[in-house]
Amino acid sequence: MKAALVQLSVTDDPAKNLPVTLDFIREAAAAGADLIATPECTNLISSDRAYQRGVLEHEYHDPTLAAIRAEAEAHGVYILIGSLCLKTEDDDGRFANRSFLIGRKGDVKARYDKIHMFDVDVSETERYRESEGYRPGREAVLAATKYAEIGMSVCYDLRFPHLYRTLAQAGAQILTIPAAFNDTTGKAHWEVLVRARAIENTCFVLAPAQCGSHATHGDKPRRTWGHSMAVGPWGEVLADGGTEPGVTLVDLDLGQVDAVRSRMRSLFHDRSFDGP
């Protein structure tokens, strides 16, 4: 299977971001990709909740989702939309950070709402409270494709290994970790965590990412780490997207998952134990 990681540097304007995303999807499809994956926050990056309420849509009206579904059908490819920021029906007005797997006929194969919220003090001057604007999901999602079973996740989920263990033991051969990873934490932790999730679960990992400086309404620019990554089930880095927007292609030999698991059976050696 040939996979494509689309690396973006989005603004807070969904209408401006969409043509760029579609151009990269078309480039990946023309290069023969079977699965094309975009990053977290494919439609916008912003922490201004009032502004977001004015520009975001519900899933059934979202133009980015509709356009990407049309591209999947036009090219006959699977597209993993890393996530879209969407309005919900929640009484508290919080949004969803929702990943989609789109089938080759443009149908929505699976939806996953990010479970773990990025509520972190990166430094004394850099603070994030994702849960103030977004409500967490509650369900792990395993999605079937022609090629492989895919376990879905989003960004900060990366730091919670039990989610990936659950997905791998349920049959995932590929784990997707689309991200808009902070550049400070990305420099320190991104590669080692992505590789760890591949090694401990003997899965391929596809981790498309946002990169660069993102101009946002009413905020200082936010910076993301980039370095979209594909990692094999033995933990080897198969591809690194660097720090600029673009498309990174990688060939996945899915037989390697069974080959590694037949030699390194740790996925099946979990044991219960009493607490300290």
Q: Could you give the residue numbers annotated as active site?
A: 40, 114, 155
SS3 179: strand
Burial code (b: 16+ CB inside 10 Å, e: under 16) for 243-273 equals bebbbbbbebeeebbeebbeeeeebeeeeee
Task: Find, among 186, 38, 177, 172, the residue nearest to 116 by Cα.
Answer: 177
SS3 254: coil
Q: Cβ contacts of residue 96 below 8 Å, gap of 6+?
A: 59, 85, 86, 87, 88, 113, 134, 135, 137
Within 129-265, where are the H helices? 130-133, 161-169, 183-185, 191-201, 255-263
Q: How many other C-beta atoms lie within 10 A of the C-beta of residue 90?
A: 11
- What residue type is 255 in one-letter code? G
